[in-house]
Amino acid sequence: MNENWADKNSKRVLVIEDESLFRKILVEKLAREGFDTLEAADGTEGLELAMSEKPDAILLDLLLPMMNGIEVLKKLRGTDEWGKNVPIVILTNLDLDDPLLREISKNEPSYYLMKKDCDINDVILKVKECFRRKY
């Protein structure tokens, strides 16, 4: 299932992740799969980049410096039509019973992945799924 997404779709994915090694691995793998990539190391930078570049999908960590991922998600969903509909894949180490996660469902992420329960290929598959779904 190694489709080259750049040929037909040229989809751009923003990775907002503060763990630099994990962010680098995600960006490199997405690029090898044919996606254009953008990256940010904190929530404030990520939100600014998202609003200015309007990527086709966003990978969003929740525990970020400057502005946490839940705030980024709320701000994106509270903006224009693009922000309300852009596919967002949440990546986190938080446990499902963490009270912070209740906020996530209110802001309708496309997917939620526990970093400890998935590998890089699972993340890439979720990104590809975002582009197969109708929003």
Going from N- to C-terminal start, the domains of the chain cover 9-132
Query: What rounded mean pLDDT belongs to the chain?
Result: 84
Of the candidate ranges 39-48, 89-98, 99-108, the one whose mean pLDDT is the lowest? 99-108
The correct answer on CATH 3.90.1150.10 for the domain covering 9-132 is no
Alpha helices for 54-119 (secondary structure H): 69-77, 81-85, 102-106
Look up residue 36 and give its amino acid.
D
- Going by C-alpha positions, the residue among 57, 71, 135, 64 that lies closest to residue 103 is 71
What confidence tens digit (pLDDT) does each residue in 5-51 have?
444 457 999 999 999 999 999 999 999 999 999 999 999 999 999 99
